[in-house]
Each structure stands twice: as C-alpha cells, then as structure tokens.
Amino acid sequence: MIEIKEIKRDFPLGNETVYVLKGIDLTINKGEYVALMGPSGSGKSTLMNILGCLDTPTSGEYILNGKDVSKMDDDELAGIRNKEIGFVFQTFNLLPRTTALDNVALPMVYAGFSKEERMKRATEVLKQVGLGDRMDHKPNQLSGGQRQRVAVARALVNHPSIILADEPTGNLDSRTSVEIMNLFNEIHANGNTVILVTHEEDIAEHAHRIIRLRDGVVESDNRNK
C-alpha cells in the first residue's frame, strides 16, 4: 500500500539548509496498524506530512496504492488526500458553528456527493463512533472526547484506505484517551490501515508495529504484537 524509497526532505533556513529527513525507506502494507514515534526534531511530523500528501519530498519516491505521489502537483495531491486518506488531528479541526453531522459530511462535499448521500453516510459513521444522539450538536456543546469522535467520523466518511492520526489523544484526559484508542482499535479491526503519530509509549502500545525515528532516519522498526 505504502512504499517510500530514499525519501529526503530539506528546508532552506536563511543561507543554510536544514536536512530533516535523510533517506527514509519504509513499506506499510494494507491493514497494518503502525505507530510512528520519535523525539522532537526526529522528523516524524515531516514524514507524516509526506505520508498524508500534505507535503512533497525534496527527493525520493513515494508510491501510494500503486501511484507515485511524490511527483504530483497540488491539485492531484488534494484529490489523493480526499479519496485515500482520513486525517485525525490533536486539535480536532472542527468548524465551530457547524453541527457534528455537517462537520462529518464536509469531505463528501469536496468529493462531489449529493446532499442525500452525504447525510446518509455522515449519519452512518457518527453512529459507528457512538454519537448517533449528538448529530445536531455543535462542537462547543460536546466534550473533548466527543469532539475527537466527530473528527474520527469525518476521517472515515469517504471510505479512505488510510487513517492518519497525529497525536489524537494529546488534548484528552487519560480515561477519554483510552476510549479514543479503543475506537482506533475497532477501526483497524474493521479493515482500515491506521498510522498513528505519537510520543506517548502507552498510546503506541495499541499499534502492532512501532517505527522510531531519530535525527531524520529510521532508528528501529519492530513488531509489537
């Protein structure tokens, strides 16, 4: 599903160049549950942005479901993001004046679905994440855990092949974090590929494979379960 070869990412900084990723080779198969870990400055956020087609590498090759996305332009990348990847962020990224149902349906607007199709599918995934009775609530009427569930439902709505979660429990208390991670376990059990970016060992333990980065290279890549 994902194959990256010799991925490098450099950033110009004044007269200097910062070498963030220094030649990453990685294969992630369909249906895997992977945690991406590393200290601050290790390159994990940069790698996540490339995996999520939010950024392109300076050099190297990124094959996603048989397509070389490392050479795509912004419009092509936007299309891949909308169809192939569901994002869950630490800060939820919900529209504040919009109901849970409309927040979840939003990616389907960009994908060109009819309103009837959008409402049907958004209702379906909100029930799947346990929020069937909160569909008309706006984010400020929901708890942190409920807001993250809305974000997870939005990530699932377009039937993506990959769920990419960046510190999804970072703004949640420990009990709510357990609930959200149980939800990710269910999503993986339903057949989704899940890639989790985290710096917390107990969160990474939910994954079946832990990839650790340090100084822009893969330090270790181990099966967890």
Which CATH number do you get for residue 151? 3.40.50.300
| Cβ neighbours of residue 115 closer than 8 Å, sequence gap 6 or more | none
Smallest CA-to-CA distance from 163 within 1, 12, 16 is with 1
Counting every residue, how long is the chain?
Answer: 225
pLDDT score of 199: 86
| Cβ neighbours of residue 37 closer than 8 Å, sequence gap 6 or more | 44, 197, 198, 199, 201, 204, 210, 211, 212, 213
Instruction: Look at the chain and report how many structural domains it folds into.
Output: 1
pLDDT score of 225: 64
Averaged pLDDT, groups of 10, the chain, 225 residues long = 94 92 94 92 90 92 91 87 87 90 90 91 93 94 92 91 89 88 90 91 92 94 83
Domain that holds residue 25: 2-223
pLDDT score of 208: 94
| Cβ neighbours of residue 73 closer than 8 Å, sequence gap 6 or more | none
pLDDT score of 111: 82
